């Protein structure tokens, strides 16, 4: 071969090598994925433009640096192994390494190696990187959603199951207890009815936030759907669990605000304990629920630990409801009347009508038990109407017999009050029977008054008709008293809980006296409920309480007995 030809060929080969290198370099330079090239000692020799975009470094900032310095420490060993395999010629991939961004944060990345071999010897390695933090965020989000309640962001039932399995396992090994607290909101459907689904959702969130504040480190809060929350506590003594429950209950005495209106919501709480009450989650849930129902049947707004007796004392509410449905038809309902005694004069010119239900299967059932059932099932409307009819008929009968004028107070459930046109209904019945409107009194509990919309207009209409209005169980439901100014209220009834022990408990005495003064100052009458002892009546009389009702004077008795005793 002559020298000219040789030179030409060398030239050609050099050109084609340059051309190839050029193409190869531009593929790397413009690749959308970040690519870093490292030499055999693990130091960076090259980085493309995408590296700058993804991780913030320019080529000159990286050249000569050890790749391992850019990797999150916890995977250092794994990454070194990975590199040595790559140096032995394998093209391999690794997920989930943390790559240090120039601005200080770690980004999750995926790496693929491409060994560069020249004549069989590995000279360098290209690392193709991909920022997977976005996917990771998505995955994390999916993971979050599957373990959390969407409305409140609390853990969900699925999370409870997994946490319980782990916690129970630990508790078993360490001979510890777990407490499972189930919290059910009382009458939350009335909130739903009055402010609608969206408003009720807002309140459910506020409740979650409020409970969250008191959950200890070793506890987790779950939403169990609807208006139920669950707290799982690790290694908590009965005393500590009870303290926490009391704290939650006292936090519930503060109102929740929605659209600048205050709402009072109480809760009933049942507690079961691992391993005493069961070792499986389902069993513990069922027992906590039984304790909740036990509380609800006994007037709500309280807490109980599960006890074996609850099983036997437990009534079949579905069956009871079926019986209640036919109570009017079977003549099982009766109204009894409890006299309200004027403490100064001893005179009696008013009574409270209290429902009695004597059922052939269940016997006498307390209104504290069947009224909530009637409210939940909607039966309260027909039962409530029946009560209004009977009371008006009773007043009419006494009026016709020319007995001295008296007044009867009727307990009105918030459900009845809420259905709209309650005032119109009362008017119609009063007119139908031809009784004096002022001889008819409606008793509405304080908390119910607050939780209803249109309360003011209904009360005003009742006032226009001439009906007497009283606030029942005063002092138990509310913290702000401004409604007393707004609403046309005639009578305040001091709740029994303040009268009980009034002779022993100075605080109760102070509360009762304050309520009495308040009523006087507002020009309202005041009636003390649940007076059982002479001394209690004496204290109340001295404090200028107008009237009292309670076992000291009489329990509620049938109408015939009232006529005999008070009108003879």
Stretch in the footprint of Mg ion (CB under 5 A) among 196-204, 250-258, 523-531, 552-560: 523-531
Quick note: the x/- pattern for ligand C2E over 446-485, rule CB under 6 A, is --------------------------xx------------
- Does residue 375 interact with Mg ion by CB under 5 A? no
Question: Which candidate, 497, 508, 516, places its Cα nearest to that of 343?
Answer: 516
CB contact set of 34 (below 8 Å; sequence gap of 6+): 47, 48, 50, 51, 53, 54, 55, 128, 129, 130, 131
Is 293 within 8 Å of 269 (Cβ atoms)? Answer: no
Residue 245 binds Mg ion, judged by CB under 5 A: no
Q: According to the binding rule CB under 5 A, does residue 190 interact with Mg ion?
A: no
Can you tell me the distance from the alpha carbon of 476 to that of 469, in angstroms, rounded to the nearest whole number? Answer: 18
Name which of 285 and 341 has its Cβ closer to Mg ion: 341
415 close to 190: Cβ distance less than 8 angstroms: yes
Pick one of 550, 559, 562, 566: the residue that binds ligand C2E (CB under 6 A).
550
Question: Which range in 83-91, 319-327, 411-419, 539-547 contacts ligand C2E by CB under 6 A?
Answer: 411-419
DSSP assignment string, 452-472: -TTHHHHHHHHHHHT-EEEEE
Does position 411 interact with Mg ion (CB under 5 A)? The reply is yes
Q: Does the footprint of Mg ion cover residue 441 (CB under 5 A)?
A: no
Choose, by CB under 6 A, the member of 132, 413, 476, 508 that binds ligand C2E.
Answer: 413
Q: Does residue 279 sit in helix, strand or coil?
A: coil
Regarding 473 and contact with Mg ion (CB under 5 A), the answer is yes
Single residue of 26, 84, 150, 366 touching ligand C2E by CB under 6 A: 366
Out of 371, 442, 462, 502, name the contact with ligand C2E by CB under 6 A: 371
Does 186 sit near Mg ion (CB under 5 A)?
no
Least Cβ distance, residue 367 to ligand C2E (angstroms)? 3
Cβ(83)–Cβ(40) below 8 Å = no
**Cα–Cα distance between 455 and 422 in angstroms, integer?**
11
When asked if residue 556 is in the footprint of ligand C2E (CB under 6 A), the reply is yes
Reading the block at residue 399, the tokens are: 């009026």
Q: Least distance in Å: CB of 438 to ligand C2E? A: 20
Q: Are 306 and 272 in contact (CB under 8 A)?
A: yes
Is residue 341 a contact point for ligand C2E (CB under 6 A)?
Answer: no
Element (H, E) at 391: helix 380-400
Pick the closer one to Mg ion by CB: 167 or 473: 473
The owner of tokens 């249109």 is 454
* Size of site (CB under 6 A) for ligand C2E: 22
Region of 33 (left: φ > 0; alpha: ψ -120 to 50; beta: rest) is beta
Stretch that binds ligand C2E, among 6-14, 190-198, 447-455, 528-536 (CB under 6 A): 528-536
- Site residues (vs ligand C2E, CB under 6 A): 338, 354-355, 366-368, 371, 387, 411-413, 472-473, 496, 529-532, 549-551, 556
């Amino acid at each position: 071969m002559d020298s000219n030809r040789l030179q030409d060929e060398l030239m050609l080969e050099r050109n084609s090598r340059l051309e190839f290198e050029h193409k190869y370099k531009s593929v790397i330079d413009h690749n959308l994925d970040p690519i870093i090239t490292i030499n055999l000692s693990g130091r960076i020799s090259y980085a493309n433009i995408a590296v700058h975009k993804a991780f913030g470094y320019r080529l000159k900032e990286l050249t000569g640096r050890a790749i391992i310095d850019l990797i999150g420490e916890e995977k250092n060993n794994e990454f070194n192994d990975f590199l040595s395999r790559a140096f032995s010629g394998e093209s391999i991939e690794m997920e989930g390494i943390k790559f240090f961004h120039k601005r200080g944060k770690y980004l999750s990345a995926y790496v693929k190696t491409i060994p560069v071999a020249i004549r069989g010897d590995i000279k360098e390695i290209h690392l193709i990187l991909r920022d997977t933090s976005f996917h990771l965020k998505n995955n994390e989000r999916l993971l979050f959603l599957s373990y959390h309640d969407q409305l409140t962001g609390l853990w969900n039932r699925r999370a409870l199951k997994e946490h319980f399995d782990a916690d129970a396992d630990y508790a078993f090994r360490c001979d510890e207890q777990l407490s499972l607290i189930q919290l059910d909101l009382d009458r939350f459907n009335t909130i739903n009815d009055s402010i609608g689904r969206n408003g009720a959702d807002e309140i459910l969130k506020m409740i979650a936030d409020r409970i969250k504040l008191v959950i200890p480190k070793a506890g987790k809060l779950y939403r169990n759907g609807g208006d139920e929350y669950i707290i799982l506590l690790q290694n908590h003594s009965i005393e500590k669990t009870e303290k926490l429950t009391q704290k939650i209950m006292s936090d519930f005495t503060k109102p929740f605000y929605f659209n600048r209106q205050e709402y009072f919501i109480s809760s009933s709480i049942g507690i079961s304990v691992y391993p005493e009450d069961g070792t499986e989650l389902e069993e513990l849930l069922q027992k906590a629920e039984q304790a909740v129902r036990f509380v609800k049947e006994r007037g709500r707004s309280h807490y109980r630990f599960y006890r074996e007796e609850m099983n036997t004392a437990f009534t079949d509410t579905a069956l009871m409801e079926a019986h209640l449905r036919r109570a009017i038809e079977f003549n099982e309902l009766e109204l009894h009347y409890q006299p309200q005694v004027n403490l100064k004069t001893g005179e009696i010119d008013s009574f409270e009508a209290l429902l009695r239900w004597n059922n052939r299967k269940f016997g006498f059932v307390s209104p504290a038990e069947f009224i909530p059932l009637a409210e939940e099932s909607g039966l309260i409307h027909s039962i409530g109407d029946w009560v209004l009819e009977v009371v008006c008929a009773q007043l009419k009968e006494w009026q016709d017999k020319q007995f001295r004028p008296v007044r009867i107070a009727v307990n009105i459930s918030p459900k009845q009050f809420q259905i709209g046109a309650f005032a119109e209904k009362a008017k119609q019945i009063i007119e139908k029977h031809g009784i004096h409107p002022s001889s008819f009194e409606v008793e509405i509990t304080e908390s119910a008054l607050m939780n209803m919309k249109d309360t003011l207009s209904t009360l005003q209409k009742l006032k226009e008709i001439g009906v007497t209005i009283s606030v029942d169980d005063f002092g138990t439901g509310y913290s702000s008293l401004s409604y007393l100014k707004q609403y046309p209220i005639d009578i305040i009834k001091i709740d029994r809980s303040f009268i009980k022990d009034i002779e022993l408990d100075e605080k109760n005495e102070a509360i009762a006296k304050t309520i009495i003064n308040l009523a006087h100052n507002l020009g309202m009458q005041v009636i003390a409920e649940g007076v059982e002892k002479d001394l209690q009546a004496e204290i109340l009389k001295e404090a200028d309480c107008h009237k009292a009702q309670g076992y000291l004077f009489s329990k509620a008795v049938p109408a015939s007995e009232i006529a005999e005793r008070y009108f003879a």
